[in-house]
Amino acid sequence: MFRTLSGKMGGTMKLSKCLLALAAMLVGAVALGPSAVAQGPLLEVYVAYLGPDDHYNSRGARLTEPWQVIRQDRANFHRFGIHDRGDEGDRFFASSANRARMERMILNGYIEGNAGYRIVEGNCWIRVEIYRDSVHIEVR
């Protein structure tokens, strides 16, 4: 038995049903993956190869954070016309203002496992899901 918010005695059946419903929601979110709990609707998805040109900024300095490499990849694609074979376009990061939001979007989003290390340390394929305030990144 437990007391409800109104102070009345309630049965364990109500508590059990609430806990069961909460558990079902959590299992559903985990089963659907990180995209299921993303911020807002999915806007776009693109695939890109992060090659040697993407690991250095316009001044030639080596980039040391995953968001910097991905941002440089999008700047190379949209601003400088530098494409790696297989790079896909996107409308969202065609905007320099949206590229400037990349760090915050990654912090709000999800990068799988050791993907951050793989992005910074070598050349790899990435799949990026773009949401309003976040991105979810998988390394392939």
Instruction: Report which of residues 69 and 19 the model is more confident about.
Output: 69
Concatenated DSSP letters of 117-133: HHHHHS-EEEEEEE-SS
Residue 4 has a pLDDT of 45
Type of residue found at 11: G
Q: What are the pLDDT digits (tens) for 107-124? A: 999 998 899 999 999 999
**12-16: average pLDDT:** 50
Residue 102 has a pLDDT of 93
Q: Which residues partner with 40 through β-bridges?
A: none
> What ranges do the domains of the chain cover?
2-32, 44-139
Q: Which of 10-14, 17-21, 28-32 has the lowest mean pLDDT?
A: 28-32
For the chain, the distance separating the N- and C-terminal CA atoms, rounded to the nearest angstrom, is 52
> Rounded to the nearest 5 degrees, what angle is found at the Cα of 84, between the Cα atoms of 78 and 85?
125
Question: Rounded CA gap, 127 and 76, in Å?
Answer: 17
Residue 37 has a pLDDT of 52
Question: Rounded CA gap, 57 and 76, in Å?
Answer: 10
Q: What are the pLDDT digits (tens) for 75-98? A: 999 999 999 999 999 999 999 999
Percent of the chain's residues with pLDDT above 90: 69
Residue 73, pLDDT > 80, answer: yes
> pTM for this structure?
0.73
Residue 26, pLDDT > 70, answer: no
**43-63: average pLDDT:** 97
Residue 23 has a pLDDT of 46
